[in-house]
Amino acid sequence: MEYRLQAEAVRAALGEDVVEFSEASIYEWGPVFKTRLALASGGAVDAVVKTTWSDPAEAAALGRWQQHVAVAGLQCVQPLELATVDLPLTVSDTTWMAYPWIDGDPWPGSVESIAAAGRGLGLLHHASSSFDGAALPHFDWPVFSRESVDEDVEAMEVVCAEQAAQLEAEGYSLDCVELADRWAKELRAFHYDTLPAIQDAGVPRCAVSLDYRASNLIYPATDRPPVLIDFENGEVAPRLLDLAVSALLFASETASNPGRLFSREEWDAYLSGYLESAPPLSREEIALWPEALKYMRLEWGTWHLTDGAEWDFPGEGSFLRDLLTLQEAERFPLEPTSA
């Protein structure tokens, strides 16, 4: 119901630029509406209308970033220029942007498509390294709160207990008590060990996706970099964290989710594609890679396993159990076995 009311309001605000407008969201977790819109250059195109950043300066910077990386060679969406309405558009305290509809297929799950995605992330980092991201949001480092840490530890203890039977049935070696103890120790040490190791490091920072995963990619062909269709989680942050969260969550919440994180073969393909097109990693980045993986597992993985968990979504339950039991430094080394 909420999405229908939003759709009606946005359609009215777009006025005469609307040729067609579907009021059913095409995205399961948020309002994204398929439309056909009139362009300032003449004619009309199939498009999507979705929420974007509410701050006008940040929204404008987001558009400039998209245009910059597109010119540099990344396949991605860019904001449309409509015939009469200026974008972004604010309706009832929510800001909206229109992007062209991208023809293609969702992630097919093949090793070739994973390698292509890795090249795409490398291209994004390469292009963003020459973009002035001063007007974009900058990564918000977490502030220590004992209450918050205690809540995370308690939530993870609940998750481990609730998943105990499935963990045993799926053959995981760690039982729920051992897992809960491991997560508790790591979460309690996060602000003293893991966070400062990354926050205080002088590693390269640039505009990055922080949500580069299969659900935000459209494949025109599996042997080419896919089209990135969502920049709205982007910030200026260490690119090492962007690579780390992509490694951990790439298949999450996709229809073709295999029920696990990358296999070693898939990770080799993804990493090889990334290294092929990204700026070379520094020695400090290479040394910090295990900490970057742990950082994103504890900071973002905890949320995906607790408040953000979709245990009943196809493949997601097994995927989350793989994340729950992950030994990330062993699973995702920063050197392909074929190197």
pLDDT tens-place values along the chain, 339 residues long: 578 899 999 999 999 999 999 999 998 888 999 999 999 999 999 999 999 999 988 998 999 999 999 999 999 999 999 999 999 999 988 999 999 999 999 999 999 999 999 999 999 999 999 999 999 999 999 999 999 999 999 999 999 999 999 999 998 877 889 999 999 999 999 999 999 999 999 999 999 999 999 999 999 976 678 999 999 999 999 999 999 999 999 999 998 999 999 999 999 999 999 999 999 999 999 999 999 999 999 999 999 999 999 999 999 999 999 999 999 999 999 986 654
Per-residue model confidence (pLDDT) at position 1: 53
Q: Which of 78, 85, 81 is nearest to 17 (CA)?
A: 85
3-state SS class at 311: coil
Q: Which CATH number is correct for 111-331, 1.20.120.1200, 3.20.10.10, 3.30.1330.20, 3.90.1200.10?
A: 3.90.1200.10
Q: Which CATH number is correct for 2-100, 1.10.8.60, 3.30.1540.20, 3.30.200.20, 3.40.1030.10?
A: 3.30.200.20
CATH 3.90.1200.10 segments of the chain? 111-331
Per-residue model confidence (pLDDT) at position 338: 53
Helix, strand, coil abundance in the chain, percent, nearest 5:
45, 15, 35
Per-residue model confidence (pLDDT) at position 3: 87
Give the E-state strand segments of the chain in sequence order.
Answer: 18-25, 32-38, 44-51, 89-91, 94-100, 205-208, 217-218, 227-228, 235-238
CB 103 within 8 A of CB 219: no
Per-residue model confidence (pLDDT) at position 337: 63
CATH 3.30.200.20 segments of the chain? 2-100
Per-residue model confidence (pLDDT) at position 225: 80
